[in-house]
Amino acid sequence: MSTHELYTIPAELSTWDVEMAGSSRFTWEYDDGRDRMLALYQKGKDKQWDSVKRIDWGIEVDPYDVLGIPDQAIAIYNTPLWHRMDEQQRKEVRRHGAAWQFSQFLHGEQGAMICSARIVESVPDLDAKFYAATQTMDEARHAETYARFLKEKVGIAYPINPYLKSLLDDTLSDSRWDMPYLGMQVLIEGLALAAFGVMRDITDKPLPKQILAYVMQDEARHVAFGRMALRDYYKNLTDAERREREDFVIEGCYLMRDRLRGVEQWENLGLSPQEVRQALAATDESQYFQLFRSLLFSRIVPCVKDIGLWSERLQKAYADMGVLEMAGQNLDALMRQDEEIAEKLDVERFAAEEAERAEEVAATISLGTGSLGTGEDPARR
């Protein structure tokens, strides 16, 4: 089945061409690079995994209850619009909400794959090229995983959100080599990582929990890569250059904030224009949504501060968005937690499988012993 058959609304084009500017940079310096970057590169190689083997795709998923999140988390819950819906319409709200969210994860991962390949091409340092090459493979695996999840478990998908598309366009069409880092590693990856984390922590469904935890284990390294590279480079920016990057960050954060409203999913549920406006108003007023949106900046804001973009103007923009307090988040602690959760999930899963196999073996031995006790040849039973 073609992915285009899954889209709830037609995608504009089968492919999207972005005109890229800038240079492809070769370096003839093959000596050892920065120790931190090479250590990250080694970790990137060591932590490669196969989604076909690591994820248990045999787990069933209810497409109308993908994450097991209570209805109270739905923006229109307990509104007049919600009360006018019958149970089937509410089921569609749940399904389309999950499909929209995971579709944007999928498109963002393809964007990350292209951006990391762009970094391999344009970054001047060989150690950064090495690591970005491992990230390109990571992002391919993530796109593969989300595409399979949508196709096999949810059954519908959404095209790329216009706000995400705009930020990707700005990121990839800029000729400066650091902009794919800033647009992708800091903004898009930072927001996605926080979204993955919120969903990973609240879902009680084993398959999406596996997917989110394992993807986050990789993404933690990607954000660390962006921080490392940009922190070193931005120390030497002129005031004018720093202001240009801050303008990009401010505009990108507003785009990321606005895309979270998910206008397309409401428009596609058969609601009238007035009901769509009611749904969006309910979204803006929802305490859950406001908390969710704030949490989604928990990775971006401290990262922007860490790389040295922290003028009063930028802080004011974050204050206007209601996320300035996120600057106090400890990124290193969050990244360690992401690693530990994925590793713990592996231990629990494989321990359970070993226990199940041990029970099967014990049952088989017991059956065989019982058969021998009757004097009957078990091979003839």
Q: In this structure, what CATH number is given to the domain that contains residue 245? A: 1.10.620.20
Please report whether residue 19 resides in a domain: no
Long-range contacts of 169-176 (CB under 8 A, 24+ apart): 169/18, 170/248, 170/251, 170/252, 171/111, 171/115, 172/18, 172/20, 172/114, 172/115, 172/118, 173/18, 173/19, 173/20, 173/21, 174/21, 174/22, 175/21, 175/22, 175/23, 176/22
User: Are 311 and 360 members of one domain?
Assistant: no
User: Are 121 and 192 members of one domain?
Assistant: yes
User: Are 51 and 109 members of one domain?
Assistant: yes
User: Are 197 and 125 members of one domain?
Assistant: yes
Give the model's pLDDT for residue 257. Answer: 81
Please report whether residue 188 resides in a domain: yes
Please report whether residue 26 resides in a domain: no
Please report whether residue 18 resides in a domain: no
Give the model's pLDDT for residue 28. Answer: 73
User: Are 181 and 271 members of one domain?
Assistant: yes
User: Are 213 and 274 members of one domain?
Assistant: yes
pLDDT band at 369 (very low <50, low <70, confident <90, very high): low
Residue owning tokens 């995400």 = 164
Angle at alpha carbon of residue 70, lines to 68 and 71, rounded to 5°:
120
Q: Residue 221: enclosing H or E segment and its boundaries?
A: helix 206-234
User: Are 68 and 117 members of one domain?
Assistant: yes
User: Are 86 and 226 members of one domain?
Assistant: yes
Of the residues 311, 329, 347, which one is the last residue of a structural domain?
329
Please report whether residue 279 resides in a domain: yes
Mean pLDDT throughout 79-83? 93
Higher pLDDT, 380 or 186: 186
**Residue ranges with strand state E in the chain:** none
Of the residues 329, 349, 370, which one is the last residue of a structural domain?
329
- 244, 229, 142, 301 alpha-carbon torsion, rounded to 10°: -50
User: Are 318 and 379 members of one domain?
Assistant: no
Residue owning tokens 């401290």 = 302
Is 212 in contact with 196 (CB distance < 8 Å)? Answer: yes
Beta bridge partners of 7: 157
Give the model's pLDDT for residue 65. Answer: 96
User: Are 321 and 370 members of one domain?
Assistant: no
CA distance 339 to 64: 30
The backbone torsions φ and ψ at residue 157, rounded to the nearest 5 degrees and listed phi first, read -150, 165
User: Are 101 and 180 members of one domain?
Assistant: yes
Give the model's pLDDT for residue 9. Answer: 67
Please report whether residue 28 resides in a domain: no
Tokens of 11: 């995608």
Please report whether residue 27 resides in a domain: no
pLDDT exceeds 60 at position 373: no
Least confident window among 1-10, 132-141, 258-267, 332-341: 1-10
Please report whether residue 20 resides in a domain: no
| Domain count for the chain | 2
Is 115 in contact with 138 (CB distance < 8 Å)? Answer: no
| 154 burial type by CB count under 10 A (0-12 exposed, 13-18 middle, 19+ buried) | buried
pLDDT exceeds 50 at position 380: no
pLDDT exceeds 80 at position 109: yes
Tokens of 193: 């990582």
pLDDT band at 36 (very low <50, low <70, confident <90, very high): confident
CA distance 102 to 92: 15
> End-to-end CA distance of the chain, in Å?
45
Structural domain including 370 reads 332-381
pTM of the complete model: 0.85
User: Are 228 and 293 members of one domain?
Assistant: yes
CA distance 321 to 11: 31
